């Protein structure tokens, strides 16, 4: 039996693990894919207090090592369900069942797909959701980035240093991204903004992306942009259906929890981007880690 099982090894989950072990609790972190969560794919972080500049990979790796060095155990197993037996939480993974006094759900969110017919099949052949992972394959080539949030704008800035041409396709003419990153992108002379436009088709040749067709929302005019790569950065969607029996989910699938990270079930907490919240930032994910880690430790002590 563990005191605390944390589901998800992103910023919120690893921060929760740090607070849990430092409160003297046994902590198991379960992660379905790889540590780091969304931030591991961010080329540059410049808005985390006291860290002027770092990469998402460096940030996530430091955080991961910090949690492990302090005593958190990490296992790569996907959690498929959680059930209750009195006060005990039974966490079922694709391999085993773990008993815990408290559970922290820090499941974050996954990349939202565009939903175009050949998008899935072209992943790895021109379609990507991660500029830092795949950008280097497009050295000297033309690429498109779709989206107007921080991820899209930061990805486009990163790609502008590698690719010959970067089209930034966004469905509005205003950006959701922070002003500072938009200003930095606008300084790049190989970037073209295609605004008020949606991608309506991904063109392929020999099983690889050869272009995208964009449609202007106002004029309905369509044009084809010849690109070898399409980076989709249109936000995230939560993935919490496995926990629907023990927590309440809102219409969009986020776990209903307030700033205290408490869910409808005592001893089950939700932290980070996967819960209902106003501001989804690295620093708020880390903050949720602290809140939920301390609350879970206190819950264990009161049992």
Q: With binding defined as CB under 6 A, does residue 128 bind ligand NAP? A: no
- Report the residue count for the chain: 303
> Which CB sits closer to ligand NAP, 9 or 285?
285
> Which CB sits closer to ligand NAP, 176 or 203?
176
96 by Cβ neighbours in 10 Å (0-12 / 13-18 / 19+) ranks as exposed
- Segment near ligand NAP (CB under 6 A); pick from 57-65, 122-130, 131-139, 277-285: 277-285
> Which CB sits closer to ligand NAP, 151 or 240?
151
Q: With binding defined as CB under 6 A, does residue 113 bind ligand NAP? A: no
Measure the CA–CA gap between 6 and 74, rounded to whole angstroms. 9
Of 62, 69, 133, 173, catalytic: 133
Measure the CA–CA gap between 2 and 89, rounded to whole angstroms. 10
> Which CB sits closer to ligand NAP, 148 or 229?
148
Q: Among 5, 9, 27, 45, indicate the residue that binds ligand NAP (CB under 6 A).
A: 45
First-to-final CA distance of the chain: 14
Q: With binding defined as CB under 6 A, does residue 107 bind ligand NAP? A: no
Comparing CA positions, the residue from 110, 103, 112, 114 lying closest to residue 1 is: 103
- Segment near ligand NAP (CB under 6 A); pick from 10-18, 26-34, 42-50, 156-164: 42-50
Largest CA distance in the chain: 64
Number of residues engaging ligand NAP in binding (CB under 6 A)? 21
Q: With binding defined as CB under 6 A, does residue 150 bind ligand NAP? A: yes
Measure the CA–CA gap between 296 and 34, rounded to whole angstroms. 24
Residues in contact with 91: Cβ distance below 8 Å, sequence separation at least 6, in sequence order: 5, 7, 30, 79, 82, 97, 98, 99, 100, 103
Cβ 176 to ligand NAP, closest distance in Å?
4
> Which CB sits closer to ligand NAP, 42 or 128?
42
253 by Cβ neighbours in 10 Å (0-12 / 13-18 / 19+) ranks as middle
Q: Which residues pair with 97 in a beta bridge?
A: 92
- Segment near ligand NAP (CB under 6 A); pick from 10-18, 26-34, 73-81, 148-156: 148-156
Please confirm, yes or no, whether 133 is among the known catalytic residues: yes
Q: Among 121, 172, 222, 223, indicate the residue that binds ligand NAP (CB under 6 A).
A: 172
Sign of the Cα torsion 203, 237, 77, 106 reads positive
Of 3, 134, 155, 288, catalytic: 134
Cβ 189 to ligand NAP, closest distance in Å?
23
Please confirm, yes or no, whether 261 is among the known catalytic residues: no
Q: With binding defined as CB under 6 A, does residue 196 bind ligand NAP? A: no
- Segment near ligand NAP (CB under 6 A); pick from 28-36, 87-95, 143-151, 242-250: 143-151
Q: With binding defined as CB under 6 A, does residue 271 bind ligand NAP? A: no
Comparing CA positions, the residue from 137, 166, 152, 132 lying closest to residue 43 is: 132
Residues 230-249 touching ligand NAP, rule: CB under 6 A, are 233-236
- What secondary structure letter does DSSP report for 255? B
Concatenate the DSSP letters of all residues of 30-76 into one string: E-SS-TTGGGGG-S-B--BTTB-SB-HHHHHHHHHHHHHHHT-EEE-
Write out the catalytic residue numbers. Answer: 130, 133-134
């Amino acid at each position: 039996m563990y005191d605390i099982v944390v589901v998800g090894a992103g910023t919120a989950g690893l921060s929760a693990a740090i607070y849990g072990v430092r409160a003297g609790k046994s902590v198991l972190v379960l992660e379905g894919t790889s540590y780091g969560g969304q931030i591991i794919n961010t080329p540059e972080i410049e808005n985390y207090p006291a860290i002027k500049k770092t990469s998402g990979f460096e940030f996530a790796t430091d955080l991961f090592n910090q949690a492990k060095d302090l005593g958190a155990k990490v296992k790569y197993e996907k959690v498929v369900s959680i059930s209750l037996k009195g006060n005990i939480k039974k966490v079922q993974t694709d391999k085993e069942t773990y008993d815990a006094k408290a559970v922290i759900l820090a499941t974050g969110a996954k990349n939202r797909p565009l939903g175009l017919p050949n998008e899935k099949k072209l992943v790895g052949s021109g379609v990507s959701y991660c500029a830092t992972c795949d950008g280097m394959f497009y050295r000297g080539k033309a690429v498109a980035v779709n989206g107007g949030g921080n991820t899209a704008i930061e990805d486009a800035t990163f790609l502008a240093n590698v690719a010959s041409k970067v089209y930034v396709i966004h469905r509005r003419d205003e950006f959701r991204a922070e002003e500072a990153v938009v200003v930095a992108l606008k300084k790049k002379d190989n970037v073209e903004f295609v605004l008020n436009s949606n991608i309506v088709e991904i063109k392929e040749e020999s099983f690889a992306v050869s272009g995208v067709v964009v449609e202007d929302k106002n004029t309905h005019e369509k044009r084809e942009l010849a690109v070898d790569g399409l980076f989709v950065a249109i936000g995230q969607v939560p993935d919490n259906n496995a926990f629907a029996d023990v927590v309440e989910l809102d219409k969009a699938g986020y776990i209903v929890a307030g700033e205290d990270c408490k869910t409808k079930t005592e001893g089950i907490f939700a932290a980070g981007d996967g819960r209902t919240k106003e501001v989804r930032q690295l620093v708020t994910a880390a903050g949720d880690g602290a809140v939920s880690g301390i609350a879970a430790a206190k819950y264990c002590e009161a049992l």
